[in-house]
Structure 1
Amino acid sequence: MLLFLDVDGPLIPFGAADRTYARYDRGLSGPPGAHAHPLLSRVDPELGARLSRLGCELVWATTWMDDANDCLAPWLGLPALPVVCWPDQDEPPGRLHWKTRPLVAWAAGRPFVWIDDELTGTDRGWVAAHHPAPALLHRVDHRYGLTGADFTAVAEWLRRPDRPVDGRRRR
């Protein structure tokens, strides 16, 4: 099972009305420059272990590209992860997210979870119509990032033997 992971929003919360975010410090270990990123201290380093416990193949699905492996993976205690390379493309029609088609292509028919803060019903409908395997498109509130409730929702979906495609049962 693949798990496509966005960074801004799910891992790095932003946009909270009071602009108060938890701060985390892992010391100065890690690759040179990794701790220079101004938002890294907003990322809970325990998220790496929690993501690993889901038992999925983690894949960066972010505009951070390889910077996610340079900066975030060490902070989270994760190995270097595969990175989705975004193709040059025109904006998709309607409200379809620009990541939706490339992620379905990258999954190549395999089941997946996609964690992002910009998902809509349009993306869920398109994936249900164009992807043959189960898929969960889980939207995270960008103001708080991944929470216990998000992990519970994803874990419960992963445990289901009849995993639906976002609410639609497979026939």
Structure 2
Amino acid sequence: MTERPLLLLDVDGPLNPFRSLSAGLRGYTSHRMRPDVWLSYRDPESRRARRGVRVRLHPSHGARLLALPFEIAWATAWTHQANTLIAPHIGLPADLPVVDWPELFARDPDGLSWKTRHLLDWAAGRPFAWVDDMITPQDRAWVREHHPAPALLLRVLPRHGLRDRDFAALSSWAAELSPAGR
């Protein structure tokens, strides 16, 4: 059996439309969470740190992601906490692979996203789709030039989160891959 392409998934932006004013009207539910990455920028004694950050998640997204022909992995600053804090609320397994970053939010010398170079290393030549809110045209060009396999870099706006058209784009892209790439 051949490997399916990777789906490298960010949390904030695609799954948590943190800039949306109407997420609740679109079926998202709010949760208060205290992820380590968020707490690292807060005074632990502050009211904000005690309350946690509001995270909006859509309960149907897990099933929709699992229905896609991909091997899902977390590509987020939430790291392993995506499995414990996010996955249960959207119906994803709690043991998905996680991209471990050498350094969170490191400045890239060429102005790429802090994730781009490491994701290519992590994908190890496999086809992948990367879903994130911080993808730029520069990242797309760099991946085209440096990754030997097909790659889809899907930017999702943090005021919208994943939408039907994003799921359709992922499904269509995976269907276009040759059987050898699946």
Which residue of 2 is the match for residue 123 of structure 1?
139
Of residues 29, 40, 48 in structure 2, which corresponds to 1:24? Answer: 29
Q: How many angstroms apart in 2 are the aligned matches of 1:139 and 1:150?
A: 9
Runs of 5+ consecutive residues of structure 2 not aligned to the other structure: 32-50
Q: Tell me how far 1:91 sits from its aligned partner.
A: 1.6
Q: 1:126 to 1:25 in 2, by over 3 A?
A: closer
Count of aligned pairs between the two proteins: 151
Corresponding residue number in structure 2 for 1:14: 18
**Contact 1:6–1:116, Cα closer than 8 Å, also in 2:** yes
More strand by share: 2
What TM-score do you get using the length of structure 1 for normalisation? Answer: 0.81
Calculate percent identity across the aligned residue pairs.
50
For the 8 Å contact 2:30–2:54, the answer to whether it is kept is no
Aligned to 2:153: 137
Moved over 2 A (4+): 23-26, 36-40
- 1:18-72 CA-to-partner distances (Å, cap 9, x unmatched) read x33214379xxxxxxxxx86534x2001000100111211000000011101111
Map residues 1-171 of structure 1 onto 2, 5 A cutoff: 1-16=5-20, 19-22=21-24, 23-24=28-29, 38-40=53-55, 42-79=56-93, 80-88=95-103, 90-161=106-177
Aligned-partner residue type, residue 155 of structure 1: S
Helix, strand or coil for the counterpart of 1:59?
A: strand
**Structure 1 unaligned regions, length at least 5:** 27-35, 164-171
Q: 1:37 to 1:104 in 2, by over 3 A?
A: same
TM-score (norm 2): 0.76
- Write out per-residue CA displacement over residues 142-166 of structure 1, whole angstroms, 9 at most, x where no aligned residue: 1010000111111111111369xxx
Asked if 1 retains the 8 angstrom alpha-carbon contact of 2:6 and 2:72, the reply is: yes
